[in-house]
Amino acid sequence: MLADAHGGCFHLGERECSIQRRHQKLIEECPSPVMDATGRRLVGELALRTVRAVGYQNAGTVEFLRSDDGSFYFMEVNARLQVEHPVTEEVFGVDLVRQQIAIAAGERVPWGEEAPIPRGHAIECRILAEDPSRGFLPSPGTILRLRVPAGPGIRHDGGIYEGSTVPVHYDPLLAKLVAWGESREAAIARMARALREYRIEGLATCIGFHRRVLAHPAFLRGDLHTGFLDEHPELLVPPPAEPFVTVAAVAAAVAHVEEPPAPPGRSAPAASQGPSAWRWAGRRGFRP
With b for 16 or more beta-carbon neighbours within 10 A and e for fewer, the 107-120 pattern comes to: eebeeeeebeebeb
The DSSP string of 19-49 is: EEETTEEEEEEES-TT--HHHHHHHHHHHHH
Neighbouring residues of 193: CB distance < 8 A, sequence distance ≥ 6: 149, 151
Contact call for residues 1 and 59 (beta carbons, < 8 A)? yes
DSSP 3-state of 157 = strand
Which pairing describes strands 130-131 and 58-59: parallel, antiparallel, or unpaired?
unpaired
Q: How many CA atoms lie within 13 A of 98 on its CB side?
A: 6
- Given the residues 41, 49, 52, 80, the one annotated as active site: 80
> What letter represents residue 100's amino acid?
Q
Angle, in degrees to the nearest 10, between helices 207-215 and 184-197: 150
Alpha helices for 54-201 (secondary structure H): 85-92, 96-104, 184-197
Q: Comparing C-alpha atoms, which of 2, 175, 174, 187 is closest to residue 90?
A: 187
Angle at 16 between CA 84 and CA 221, to 5 degrees: 130
With b for 16 or more beta-carbon neighbours within 10 A and e for fewer, the 255-272 pattern comes to: eeeeebeeeeeeeeeeee
In the residue annotation, 80 being an active-site residue is answered as yes
Q: Annotated catalytic sites, by residue?
A: 80
